[in-house]
Structure 1
């Protein structure tokens, strides 16, 4: 085993923020460990098919592919960056003169490894927020981002006739990609009316690239004859062995379904999501301070140099609030400058300011209304891992006196499954009478084999990643 305590910086996450940070830090002569659970560089945003699939033009599935290609090329060539692929970091702690990361490497539990570095940057991105409804556990019902991931990495569609539903700009991107790949999109069902953007015209004017991106998606969807249904939601999915259709209803201003407006749409797949939730488990367990964003999610609080409230810990990208790839790239560069003790570049400061303003506007425009629980029937499984229905959660509150999501979890097991509440957490919190989102502290940020907890620290060997040996 080879000790890697000579790393100056460990970056967790190889998406836009992590790639930009590692590239900039290496440019300052810092030795960087780029630690990521994925097999290839790019994270969720730059997810791309494996070489053996023979994709002729993977860039057609992406915005900003040229930026990613340049970052990847420089990182492959850099002797200062080690890409530690397939490393699932489950804990971080202070150790020696810096940080000690504990990770599981490889499939099926793999080996326990330890990565040490003087400084730590979290660029762990976000995951999709799901609001349950009857039938959401049927085969063929996937997240909006999951549908994109299937297309980007596997070159497959979730179905031939796909309804895209939920709330947020990801819906337009997902529908545009699916339609371009040959899927029939009978409707995009958006829970908001987009009127929230009208309150931020100066912000929109200051972010012309976002307007162009939105117009591009709209033009593509128009060419494919895709209809946008605003102020509506999928309140039920139908089918036996697979989804065969969905019921869509109009929503009032508080997201309560309007009786008499239901309409059924035939489909063989449903891509649904209600925005993104920053993945901040590691930072919360370390005691990092958080803020609540306009769409009721918890994000890390950082200063002008991307420093969290924990000394020696930086954060960039979606961990600080969901705002898109351009923002993540800029914050990654700013964090690297801060770690290296260099002055912040003006361009990235300008991009961060504009994109953060747009992120706040976007979050407010697509924030879920308080009455969305009106479409959740008692028989609806809220926690799909443990198969806990909404009835059990409601009974825990009304009959057993549970006053918060944690007590409900102890009484019903909702949130104790494999995903540890990432899928059901917001719903359980709402059904428990609490807020839609909030920081959730857990000692381990992902499942870990018990045998590894009993092992002594292991050190990470230099990687043998095909991508970085090209």
Structure 2
């Protein structure tokens, strides 16, 4: 493989994302003979679901904060035993198709006995990344590959409300990330594993979706006092789909376990309700909880105050498809109004040579992510090795059957917790919608009413909403909903040339990219000492 600074290394498969789906895809493809590069923005493998603390923190049993930790241990062992090149702290900002090289065409005609894998595929893909913990490396990196697997996970969907910018308001998955990777609780910063004698602060958990239950149980078990879990939807929607429930009994058992844990910790569960305002001066002091009608409009006079020190809030997850849409991969609208990638029976997207797995294809959980990652790894190996039998065997058929059952349940889950059209009534005109650029709901409404803006892009151009550092991940849903108007679906996601913020200096250095800096093959910085002991949000891959 070439390793010069001008060309960079070339692999059979580049896997973007080292969460459950990416790990499963990378190790499967490597075990089937492909050369694999695994790129991830974090220094550790595991993604958001298997987020874990640095050994320097001295956690004794961090695995207690995780569900199905043994599955991650098995994946990590397979990674360590494989020839996968792990490229940590690589923030991928673009993928581009490269034209086939004439030299390769001549070699193909002259060397009839060349290995089959050298003949498969007419294009190469260039994966561009910036390095460093926060993408602040001095030079860009480029990886070339014959195929790409996108396992870019998801991020939390936030719906704004008055007071949500106060210190002490964190994402629901963010609260779990603080606990799993930093061993601290929101609201007081006390490391629970070192301060068992001190009670944690009062943390209200609110929003919508099954993640709330997992977050509340984790926080309560670690010492936080959780006055209530506030669920904007209900759970009766699941009962309308008995077939999907029967096909996924482990999900019912999981829900029952969460319910029992909430009872054990004395946590109240309030459905059809939402936090519609946060009170406090310098930080959170209390929240107002209002009952909601079927469209998520607050019921007049129903507001009740709950004193607390922190609020962990999230309204589901949004698949991370920015890289894919830039490539032109087709997407579909999910049951809860987000967009996920369209994949075929073997996880290939509408762009040949680009596979996807896990939450990128729709929110479904860690077990589904692992199955789809394995399936994509086998399909990529079958294509690049020209061994179609790999994609037709019993293991592939089993994975496809199980994937179908779990995707059916994922659709039920998305529909049950889909935001209602009336939630913008939570917002007064002073509520900041775009936190990065400090754009208020009133400013957006003025742009729509007075200047005729009817889509998120026009609102962005006129107000700068979505132009900040997060690139619309925090405010994108709210801006699109306000721009579309009541009862209208948000438009398809826009295609962006850059998936993450990139410094001009990095773009200027594209002519001479630095070779990617790999960790030791198959290793995970920070994994030492955590093989049997414990990244949060029960969210992304």
- TM-score by structure 2 length? 0.85
5+ residue gaps, structure 1, are: none
SS at match of 1:17: helix
Match of 1:449 in 2: 503
Q: CA offset at residue 435 of structure 1?
A: 2.7
Q: CA offset at residue 467 of structure 1?
A: 2.1
Q: CA offset at residue 181 of structure 1?
A: 0.3
Pair 1:152 & 2:193 matched: no
Pair 1:133 & 2:187 matched: no
CA distance in 2, matches of 1:385, 1:283: 25
Q: Deviations over 1:180-208 (max 9, x none)?
A: 00000000000012111011111101101
Task: Give the paired residue count.
Answer: 469
Q: Which moved more, 1:320-329 or 1:102-111?
A: 102-111
Contact 2:9–2:515 (CA<8 Å) still a contact in 1?
A: no
Pair 1:458 & 2:513 matched: yes
Match of 1:104 in 2: 130
Match of 2:532 in 1: none
Match of 1:199 in 2: 240
Q: CA offset at residue 216 of structure 1?
A: 1.1
SS at match of 1:83: strand
Q: CA offset at residue 64 of structure 1?
A: 1.1
Match of 2:35 in 1: 31
- What does 1:339-354 align with in structure 2 at a 5 Å threshold? 339-341=380-382, 342-343=390-391, 345=395, 346-354=397-405
SS at match of 1:374: helix
Question: Among residues 246, 256, 260, which one is paired with 1:215 in the alignment?
Answer: 256
CA distance in 2, matches of 1:271, 1:307: 36
Q: CA offset at residue 219 of structure 1?
A: 1.0
CA distance in 2, matches of 1:366, 1:412: 30
Work out which of the two has the higher radius of gyration on C-alpha atoms and give 1 or 2.
2
- What does 1:65-464 align with in structure 2 at a 5 Å threshold? 65-78=69-82, 80-95=83-98, 96=100, 97-107=123-133, 109-110=136-137, 111-159=139-187, 160-341=201-382, 342-343=390-391, 345=395, 346-432=397-483, 433=485, 435-436=489-490, 438-455=492-509, 456-464=511-519
Contact 1:426–1:437 (CA<8 Å) still a contact in 2?
A: no
Q: Deviations over 1:92-132 (max 9, x none)?
A: 00124311011001146202000111010000000000000
Contact 1:254–1:369 (CA<8 Å) still a contact in 2?
A: yes
Task: Determine which structure has greater relative contact order: mean sequence separation of CA pairs < 8 Å that are 6+ residues apart, divided by chain length.
Answer: 2
Q: Deviations over 1:8-36 (max 9, x none)?
A: 10000001100100111111011110000
Contact 1:296–1:438 (CA<8 Å) still a contact in 2?
A: no
5+ residue gaps, structure 2, are: 101-122, 188-200, 383-389, 529-541
Q: CA offset at residue 212 of structure 1?
A: 1.0
Distance 1:397 1:295, change over 3 A: same
Contact 1:167–1:366 (CA<8 Å) still a contact in 2?
A: yes
- TM-score by structure 1 length? 0.97
CA distance in 1, matches of 2:218, 2:253: 16
